[in-house]
Structure 1
């Protein structure tokens, strides 16, 4: 049990304050380093010349100006930090705002700042700011994975909802929420029996016991799951009970996997109504995504041509050779249209014929077939799968327009034939070479969880999300987590 009742909140405030101070120092160093680099690259030995005094003053002022821009864009508020892409978007907007301000001030005060200096300094400060914030966040996530600095959470709701939320929060700790107990409806379950069984976190009481339970286990966060008993006046009274100790109160929405930028609260006749916007399935940003996909795929194929040739030679000369280097298979794409997917062959040529004999050894649920030690995979194929190198030929699919760089997993026709109606929603966009399923566990995910992630991507897609997934894909490939 954690220390005195107020120790959890004090500890949380302590590490969050130190985290924000560290971000401020990082941002100041980023601003200074970017300004010095721009000064040196633009002017070289002429940096110390008298006519460069404006640039010297700008170099000195840029770190402070960068800090102010980030503060005005609320890039240091805790609700925008730790998880999600909002922090990086705010850093990007801060860079654009600072660039525009610098241009306006230099024009108004007739300060002659070289365009080359600005063109070097501002992209540097934006890119370096995002990269270093990402690294700082990854360090925090590693401490969360070790069970350190976690928010101590009490879940409030019905047994099924609490069990499901506990399962999801314990699967990955990148969100920093550690469940320490639950409060269930009166008489819903025997607390002692349920706690010993381990199917739920320790039951700390009923809905009337939330505030005492918080004090008893030194919790700092209460998450209220959807339940009719705690709504309106009851939720308001709970907030009053928790506000004195600065306990975070979170209400989990019944809107499954709907991103915050699709929801707005608007008053209707004096009542706050939650409006849900439709997902962005068409429009200009989708066009930008298509252009980005094809241009990126073409460049990667050109740059990676030597690697492709080396892998092809390795597959051709490896044990189990005799079949084609490229494995072709029919998959289901956007709107249910069939297309041929390309991969480097990783299995023996008779793999499909041997599948029926292995179905009873399937290690996953749902429509997928997965085996950690699949005897149909060649030695070279196992290595290619571990590093995801077998997926590289799918860049051709992206270039042809059958696939996207990021999207849902491309399913087999037999999988789609077993889909319930809601799962067909994932077919309204192009399948992806990588996706949320790829960066969240890959083959270690259950069928239900992989479908949930795919649907979440379809409903909440954004260009920022795509870029974040591409970055996380590199990390997932290096770790080789869930790859088999």
Structure 2
């Protein structure tokens, strides 16, 4: 009789399938280690040659008889120290690699730690090290390490989208929570969690849920993980998973080195706002309230003014060229003004280069008849002029909004500025988008633009509102350049 793949004995699953399921993390960490060593070695060697040359210069000391070292020896010690700290400080921890900013922060901290240790040792050993060499080697090496990690992360995300180099997950919980969590994880495969099965606390123990197999009863999940090649159990929000049951599940997973992950009902919250603070034996999750005042808001406004002013000066020839092309292409003004809704529901007049025919607004009603709620965009809008197609393809029609940024009506980054007709249909959740200043660019633009559905666009805007930071703004601006060049979703 042929045995089911879910009936593999537990000891065999633990010995073979589980190590294989997590072998990707070991391979990836080794690759990171190789490039880390190369990055440190190249940086140290380059700074050594730049500041010290090729001669084996001795290092001046307070006591020449106490310690005799040459700069090549010091450079070797610096490299060894740095490489060791990269391992000791868990910069290649599989729980952090490939997602979020923790990996980058650890690389930065390692650079600061190596610098501090070098300064302290030099002081106590009486070594008069070259200031230029010491000041240059650590920033240079850290920059190379960060670029290396960023390149590896891009590679890892591509592999994860292809279904590789990911944690293979069995979801445990109620039908509704499992279905929602599976959809959320499938939407972001680059985060490294691939659902391979489910176990329901309020449903059948056989069959399937959508396209996911039901692996069996919840209590038997630890025994069947090897059969489906899973290495992680993710418990979703469910009234049928009390603390005692989750604790028992964790105990059963421990011998096989499987991981247990708890997915709370709270979603779309950035990691910087979440803090775990144990109290009375409870792992309390503290979620900070978003703040839109104070130094952060002042810094955002100052950045907007400086950047918008600089861009307007640099792009002045582009403005003049586009204006001439529009005037020659079709009748009507060069600029197009339209009422939009800004922060706290304040209306303002948005400024764009005209990309449509002069009577575009009058023809809108006929084109939108019978359409669902949401942003109105057509792939082949008959109102768009020939030059307008080029402007929209590369988002050149949006450039005059830099004037709106200077006025304070818009920001460089923020939610998409909404039309009054859209805002009139908002529910209480969607009105949350108006808590911050709308942006010339935003998560909606760098995530597909017009290819996104209404619900996805709202979700991204709300995520931005709840988790705003200057770091995120800079990341979005960088991704905006790539989105404009690719012109994906622009029409």
Task: Tell me what 1:220 maps to.
Answer: 231
**Shift of residue 134 of structure 1?**
1.0
**Shift of residue 426 of structure 1?**
2.1
**2:471 & 2:365 partners in 1: Cα distance?**
42
What SS is found at the alignment partner of 1:78?
A: coil
Structure 2 CA distance for partners of 1:189 and 1:474, relative to 1, 3 Å: farther
Mind listing any 5+ residue stretches in structure 2 that lack a counterpart?
Answer: 60-68
**Shift of residue 180 of structure 1?**
1.9
**1:29 & 1:214 partners in 2: Cα distance?**
38
Task: Name the TM-score, length of structure 1 as normaliser.
Answer: 0.86
Structure 2 CA distance for partners of 1:238 and 1:283, relative to 1, 3 Å: same
Task: Tell me what 1:164 maps to.
Answer: 180
**1:123 & 1:159 partners in 2: Cα distance?**
50
Instruction: Confirm or deny that 1:352 pairs with 2:361.
Output: yes
**Shift of residue 72 of structure 1?**
4.6
**Shift of residue 205 of structure 1?**
3.2
Pairing partner for 2:158 from 139, 142, 148: 142
Structure 2 CA distance for partners of 1:346 and 1:236, relative to 1, 3 Å: same
What SS is found at the alignment partner of 2:142?
A: helix
Q: C-alpha offsets along residues 454-480 of structure 1, whole Å, 9 cap, x if unaligned?
A: 222222223333333333333433443
Pairing partner for 1:483 from 460, 474, 490: 490
Q: Note if contact 2:215-2:224 (Cα within 8 Å) is conserved in structure 1.
A: yes
Between stretches 234-243 and 72-81, larger displacement belongs to 72-81
Q: Note if contact 2:91-2:107 (Cα within 8 Å) is conserved in structure 1.
A: yes
Q: Note if contact 1:333-1:410 (Cα within 8 Å) is conserved in structure 2.
A: yes
Task: Tell me what 2:192 maps to.
Answer: 176
Q: How does 1:381-420 map to 2 (within 5 A)?
A: 381-420=388-427
Structure 2 CA distance for partners of 1:294 and 1:240, relative to 1, 3 Å: same
Task: Tell me what 2:112 maps to.
Answer: 96
Structure 2 CA distance for partners of 1:112 and 1:211, relative to 1, 3 Å: same
**2:382 & 2:136 partners in 1: Cα distance?**
54
**Shift of residue 154 of structure 1?**
1.7
**Shift of residue 242 of structure 1?**
2.0
Task: Tell me what 1:251 maps to.
Answer: 262
**Shift of residue 398 of structure 1?**
3.0
Between stretches 466-475 and 137-146, larger displacement belongs to 466-475
**Shift of residue 450 of structure 1?**
1.8
Mind listing any 5+ residue stretches in structure 1 that lack a counterpart?
Answer: none
Task: Tell me what 1:20 maps to.
Answer: 29
How many matched pairs? 473
Structure 2 CA distance for partners of 1:57 and 1:350, relative to 1, 3 Å: farther
Task: Tell me what 1:126 maps to.
Answer: 142
Task: Tell me what 1:336 maps to.
Answer: 345
Task: Name the TM-score, length of structure 2 as normaliser.
Answer: 0.85
Task: Tell me what 1:278 maps to.
Answer: 289
Task: Tell me what 1:446 maps to.
Answer: 453
Structure 2 CA distance for partners of 1:151 and 1:479, relative to 1, 3 Å: farther
Q: Note if contact 2:339-2:348 (Cα within 8 Å) is conserved in structure 1.
A: yes
Between stretches 65-74 and 143-152, larger displacement belongs to 65-74
Task: Tell me what 1:473 maps to.
Answer: 480
What SS is found at the alignment partner of 1:174?
A: helix
**Shift of residue 104 of structure 1?**
4.1
Q: Note if contact 1:163-1:200 (Cα within 8 Å) is conserved in structure 2.
A: no
**Shift of residue 229 of structure 1?**
0.4
Q: Note if contact 1:156-1:224 (Cα within 8 Å) is conserved in structure 2.
A: yes
Q: Note if contact 1:334-1:427 (Cα within 8 Å) is conserved in structure 2.
A: yes
Structure 2 CA distance for partners of 1:88 and 1:385, relative to 1, 3 Å: farther
Instruction: Confirm or deny that 1:457 pairs with 2:451.
Output: no
**Shift of residue 26 of structure 1?**
1.8
Between stretches 420-429 and 227-236, larger displacement belongs to 420-429
Q: Note if contact 2:205-2:215 (Cα within 8 Å) is conserved in structure 1.
A: no
* Greater gyration radius: 2
Task: Tell me what 2:428 maps to.
Answer: 421
Task: Tell me what 1:38 maps to.
Answer: 47
Pairing partner for 2:277 from 266, 279, 292: 266
Between stretches 397-406 and 143-152, larger displacement belongs to 397-406
What SS is found at the alignment partner of 1:79?
A: coil
**1:393 & 1:420 partners in 2: Cα distance?**
31
Q: Note if contact 1:158-1:227 (Cα within 8 Å) is conserved in structure 2.
A: yes
**2:88 & 2:335 partners in 1: Cα distance?**
53
Structure 2 CA distance for partners of 1:237 and 1:59, relative to 1, 3 Å: same
Structure 2 CA distance for partners of 1:314 and 1:162, relative to 1, 3 Å: farther
Structure 2 CA distance for partners of 1:267 and 1:156, relative to 1, 3 Å: closer
What SS is found at the alignment partner of 1:29?
A: helix
Instruction: Confirm or deny that 1:153 pairs with 2:169.
Output: yes
Two-structure CA RMSD over aligned residues (Å): 3.0
**Shift of residue 226 of structure 1?**
0.7
